[in-house]
Chain A
Amino acid sequence: MKPLRFMSVAAPCVALALGAVACGGQQPGGGSGGGGAGGQTQQGSGSDFSQLSGTIRIDGSSTVQPFAEAAVELFSAEAPNVNISVGGAGTGDGFERFCRGETQISDASRPIETDEVETCEAEMIEPVELQVAQDALSIVTNRETMIPDNCIATEQLEQLLAPGSNVSNLSELGQGFPDQEVSLFTPGTESGTFDYFTEEVLETDAEQRTEGVQTSADDNQLVTGVSGTPGGLGYFGFSFADQNREQLNILQVDGGEGCVEPSIETVQNNQYPLSRPLLMYPSRQSLQQPEVKGFLTFIAENYQRIAEAANIVPMGQQSAQQTSQIIKTGQGGEPKPETE
């Protein structure tokens, strides 16, 4: 049924290439979200979004991107006249576009930084910080690399990855560590994951060792790197670790209070030391637009369902309440960048 309806609209458009442009406006409402999402989304959410219309541009963190995409897909079934475009340029590039007014919402896997807030304010854009989900920054090793108790302490990570570190063999990390050459695979400097790791674990200002580390903006390449290199070790978001369990060895992390494995539970109750919030930043102004407010309200009401659909850890109830409070009142959510 559904494909037929699309066809009646799409076929003439394809036939006449120029029609692609002409047909743009009349498409019956973003369809029911890529086919399939339609039926089961009718019940469950409290608000009525069907009267909303407009265009929203979202860009930013590629870690948050799956969440944003799933949210858009579910939302478009209820608000067929709101057109939302999602990009994944990276947290830093996302803020750059956001602060120029090119996007209405910026995805981020780390809080906005002081200089970014200043750039935004120079353009009269006031970012509002909203948590939408969570992530566990996961430490993984090659499947054949056996770490004692399958657990690594944050001090050992620091020893391994701090700027200027020259640890080249895993056995230098402590007793029981295998005598194996270590190969490191991490995201690059443009990534919010990198910023979070360097800030939280290394406590440096976005710096880690450069020698002997391979970086990539594509997390799948990191997965391939770690799983294909004996002695391989790397870090990235939980969904990439979770999706590649068979090829990787996910380590427990000891942040001083014992070894904890990254999982939905340990992230939600904050036991896992490297759990971090995933954020969306609308501006105070864009939050006034009914379609932006509607979309964010939808996220606050359905955060659990969206996170499950996107294979991402949902935020805790308390954070969800806070988020929905900020959206409802339009007050609060001022970024609290760490002052150094």
Chain B
Amino acid sequence: MAVTESAITRKIVERASSGERVRELGFRVALLGCLLVAIVFLGVLIVDVSVDGLPFLSLEFFYTFPSRIFPEESGIQSALLGTLALMVLCAVFVVPIGVASAVYLEEYADRDRWINRTIEVNIQNLASVPSVVYGILGLAFIVRGPVDIFGLGVGQPTLLAGALTLGLLVLPIVIIVSREAIRAVPPSIREGSLALGATQWQTIWKQVLPGALPGVATGVILALSRAIGETAPLILVGAGAFQLFNPSIDGPFSALPIQIFNNVGEPEDIFRDLAAATILVLLGILLIMNSLAIYLRNRYENKW
């Protein structure tokens, strides 16, 4: 059956007029061209950054603090730890809320009610709001907000305030990917579970969520890799550009993008090279995270 089908398809293509074929070829070349533009630019960027930055990349670079006076011995310890801590705190905040929202919207919400549809449309919109806007939101409602949640120094430009701001930034993305992962669990699984006497909550907890987990994990990692590349919201929240101590949850913090931004603005040329080295580190982290996401997807993806 399948053989005959593809034979028919091929026949149709062969029957296409020569004009059609020329057009198809042109379309293919155009697509290839688009791809090349992206790859060439990425290649040029990486080569350019590597030429400047590689000489500074050493093991010491990771565990020394930045130095204004001895730039050649400068490192990124405080910014690197800041970025890693932001990532972890952001995940702690965003995963439970994001997944719970997705479960509600997919499993409980009645799509015929206007309120649920409004929420859905708003989440789609929020996912494309520019990051600076989230920075302003974070400054106004977290750093300068009326409530100091948990007494942990939210209400000051602290690491926690930065992580919460980044969390708000990626929350819509996490909700959207989690919903897609939950939707991908076939209804037959739910129906089977319910037919065996499980409650709706048991069905979700024991069947739906485990099934959706690989998709959720992939989405969360991709969302976090967007979060750690952000500069603008952190600048607005008040991240420090230069600090010689490690971040604590209720204290000042720096992050890799902030340090890159700061170094690029210094008068001496050597700081531009340091910025290039820091860019390489950030690219490395992003590459590791994206590879992890691809690995998780391929390794644990469920086939129903």
Q: Is B75 in the interface zone, CB < 8 Å from A? A: yes
Residues of B within 8 A of A142 (CB): none
Main secondary structure of the interface of B (DSSP, over half): loop
Among A20, A244, A309, contact of B247 (Cβ-Cβ < 8 Å): A20
Instruction: Give A138 Cβ to nearest chain B Cβ, in Å.
Output: 12
User: Is the beta-carbon distance between A35 and B70 smaller than 8 angstroms?
Assistant: yes
Residues of B within 8 A of A87 (CB): 238-242
1/0 per residue, CB under 8 A from A, across B260-272: the answer is 0010111111000
Residues of B within 8 A of A83 (CB): 243-245, 251-252
Cα A30 to Cα B157 with chains together (Å) = 20
Q: Is A152 in the interface zone, CB < 8 Å from B? A: no
Q: Is B156 in the interface zone, CB < 8 Å from A? A: yes
Contact segment of B57-65, B102-110, B177-185, B187-195: B57-65
Of chain B, the residue at the smallest CB distance from A63 is: B267
Residues of A within 8 A of B175 (CB): none
Q: How large is the interface on B (under 10, 10 to 19, 20 to 34, 35 or more residues)?
A: 35 or more
Centre residue among A31, A97, A309 by max chain B CB count within 10 A: A31
Residues of A within 8 A of B264 (CB): 218, 220
Cα A153 to Cα B254 with chains together (Å) = 43
Instruction: Give B279 Cβ to nearest chain A Cβ, in Å.
Output: 16
Using a CB–CB cutoff of 8 Å, the interface residues on chain A facing chain B are: 2-3, 6-7, 10-11, 13-14, 17-18, 20-21, 23-25, 27, 29-31, 33-37, 55, 57, 59, 62, 65-66, 68-70, 72-74, 76, 83-89, 97, 100, 102, 218-220, 239-240, 242-244, 309-311
Cα A72 to Cα B239 with chains together (Å) = 17
Known: A13-B81, A25-B248. 14 other contacts (CB 8 A): A10-B62, A20-B246, A30-B244, A31-B244, A34-B66, A34-B74, A34-B75, A35-B70, A62-B265, A83-B244, A85-B254, A87-B241, A89-B235, A218-B265
Residues of B within 8 A of A59 (CB): 238
If A11-B63, A17-B88, A35-B73 touch, whether A310 touches B265 (CB-CB below 8 Å) is: no
Among A6, A62, A69, A310, contact of B63 (Cβ-Cβ < 8 Å): A6
Of chain A, the residue at the smallest CB distance from B77 is: A10
Using a CB–CB cutoff of 8 Å, the interface residues on chain B facing chain A are: 59-60, 62-70, 73-75, 77, 80-82, 84-85, 87-89, 143-144, 156-157, 159, 235, 238-249, 251-254, 262, 264-269
User: Is the beta-carbon distance between A37 and B243 smaller than 8 angstroms?
Assistant: no
Lowest 6 A-B CB distances belong to which pairs?
A34-B67, A24-B248, A85-B240, A85-B252, A69-B68, A10-B63
The 6 listed contacts between A and B (C-beta, < 8 Å) are: A10-B77, A21-B85, A69-B242, A73-B67, A73-B69, A309-B68
User: Is the beta-carbon distance between A55 and B251 smaller than 8 angstroms?
Assistant: yes
Cα A283 to Cα B81 with chains together (Å) = 31
User: Is the beta-carbon distance between A100 and B144 smaller than 8 angstroms?
Assistant: yes
User: Is the beta-carbon distance between A66 and B64 smaller than 8 angstroms?
Assistant: no
Among B60, B88, B239, B266, contact of A3 (Cβ-Cβ < 8 Å): B60
Cα A11 to Cα B63 with chains together (Å) = 8
Instruction: Give B63 Cβ to nearest chain A Cβ, in Å.
Output: 4
Of chain A, the residue at the smallest CB distance from B72 is: A36
User: Is the beta-carbon distance between B73 and A36 smaller than 8 angstroms?
Assistant: yes
Residues of A within 8 A of B248 (CB): 21, 24-25
User: Is the beta-carbon distance between A33 and B244 smaller than 8 angstroms?
Assistant: yes
Residues of B within 8 A of A218 (CB): 264-265
User: Is the beta-carbon distance between A57 and B157 smaller than 8 angstroms?
Assistant: yes
Cα A2 to Cα B77 with chains together (Å) = 14
Of chain B, the residue at the smallest CB distance from A11 is: B63
Instruction: Give A294 Cβ to nearest chain B Cβ, in Å.
Output: 16
Instruction: Give B244 Cβ to nearest chain A Cβ, in Å.
Output: 4
If A10-B62, A21-B159, A102-B156 touch, whether A30 touches B245 (CB-CB below 8 Å) is: yes
Cα A104 to Cα B93 with chains together (Å) = 30
Of chain A, the residue at the smallest CB distance from B265 is: A218
Instruction: Give A42 Cβ to nearest chain B Cβ, in Å.
Output: 15
Residues of B within 8 A of A6 (CB): 63-64, 77
Of chain A, the residue at the smallest CB distance from B266 is: A66
If A57-B240, A102-B156, A243-B267 touch, whether A73 touches B68 (CB-CB below 8 Å) is: yes
If A3-B63, A14-B80, A87-B240 touch, whether A37 touches B88 (CB-CB below 8 Å) is: no
User: Is the beta-carbon distance between A18 and B64 smaller than 8 angstroms?
Assistant: no
Instruction: Give A18 Cβ to nearest chain B Cβ, in Å.
Output: 5
Residues of A within 8 A of B67 (CB): 33-37, 73
Residues of A within 8 A of B70 (CB): 34-37
If A14-B80, A66-B266, A69-B68 touch, whether A34 touches B62 (CB-CB below 8 Å) is: no
Centre residue among B156, B238, B253 by max chain A CB count within 10 A: B238
Residues of A within 8 A of B65 (CB): 30-31, 33-35
Cα A87 to Cα B249 with chains together (Å) = 18
User: Is the beta-carbon distance between B64 and A86 smaller than 8 angstroms?
Assistant: no
Of chain A, the residue at the smallest CB distance from B239 is: A87
Centre residue among B80, B235, B241, B244 by max chain A CB count within 10 A: B244
Instruction: Give B268 Cβ to nearest chain A Cβ, in Å.
Output: 6
Of chain B, the residue at the smallest CB distance from A37 is: B69
